[in-house]
Amino acid sequence: MSLIKTENVDKIYQDNGVPVEALKNINLEISEGEYMVIAGPSGSGKTTLLNLLGALDKPSSGKIFFENSDYSKLRRKELSSFRLHNLGFIFQAYNLIPVLTALENIEFSMMLLGIPEKVRKERAMKLMAELEIDELANKRPNEMSGGQQQRVAVARAIVNNPRIVLADEPTANLDSTTAKRLLDLMLKMNEQKNITFIFSSHDDKVIERAKRLIILRDGQIQNDKTN
C-alpha cells in the first residue's frame, strides 16, 4: 500500500487575476521508507508539490491520500493535527524559534503533543548526541553556524519519529562540506529508522544521493526513475 498517493492533482494560483497553472495532472505513489528527490528548474513546481504533499497547501483539483485517507479534504485544525503526528519539515531558512535554545527548539513539537518534560528532554538529548550537536543544547540560533542550525532543524523534524520528513532546499545555505555531512546523516536516518524523506532541490549533492528522482518541468512530471 502507498504511504502517499496523488490522483490527477492540479494547482492553479491567481497572479493579478490571471490564472497560473503551477502543477498539472500530478499522479504519484510514494512508499514508506523512500528517499526521494523532486528536482527541476526554478518555476517547475518543486516547492508547490512539496507543500501539497506536506499538507501545507491544498490542490485546486485532484486528491492526495495518506494511506487510504484523502487529507486534502481535511479542515485546518485537522490538518494541523495530521502534520504534527505524521510529518517533519526542514526548510532552507531553518525556521528555528530565535528566543529558544537548541534543546527547546527540538522539544517544542513534543510539548505540543503533551509529552512530559522529563521524556522530552531525554529524547531530545539522546537525538542531539546521535547528531553530534549535544554541545549546542543551551545555545540560541544566533549563537550557531548555519550548519549547526540546520542539524538542529533536522533533529526537530525527526524527534517525534514522523512517518515522513519533507525538506525544501535543505542545503541551500550551507557550504559543500557541511551539506555533505548533513545529507549523509539524513540518508543514515532513512536507512536506520525507515523514515521517508522527500526533498525539493536542484543541488547536485542532494540529487546524486536520491534513491528515486522525480523531474518536474512546467508543472508536470517529466521523468520518474529509481536508482
Average pLDDT estimate for 11-24: 90
CA nearest 95: which of 82, 108, 111, 114? Answer: 108
Query: Which parts of the chain fold into alpha helices (H)?
Result: 46-53, 76-86, 102-112, 117-130, 146-158, 176-193, 204-207
Domains (range + CATH), the chain: 32-60+74-226 (3.40.50.300)
pLDDT for res 76: 85
Nearest to 64 by CA among 42, 46, 79: 79
Instruction: Report DSSP state, residue 40.
Output: -
pLDDT of 75 strictly over 90: no
| pLDDT given at position 1 | 67
Neighbouring residues of 5: CB distance < 8 A, sequence distance ≥ 6: 28, 29, 30, 64, 65
Query: Once rounded to an integer, what is the mean pLDDT over residues 38-58?
Result: 92
CB contact at 8 A, 62 and 8: yes
Answer positive or negative: Cα dihedral of 162, 168, 172, 176: positive
The pLDDT, as a whole number, for residue 158 is 87
Which residue type sits at 128?
M
Between CA 129 and CA 110 the distance in angstroms is: 18
| pLDDT score recorded for residue 217 | 94
Q: Tens digit of pLDDT for each residue in 196-216? A: 999 999 899 999 999 999 999
pLDDT at 88: 92
Instruction: Quote the CA–CA distance of 165 and 89 in Å, as a whole number.
Output: 6
Q: Helix 146-158 and helix 176-193: axis angle, to 10°?
A: 10
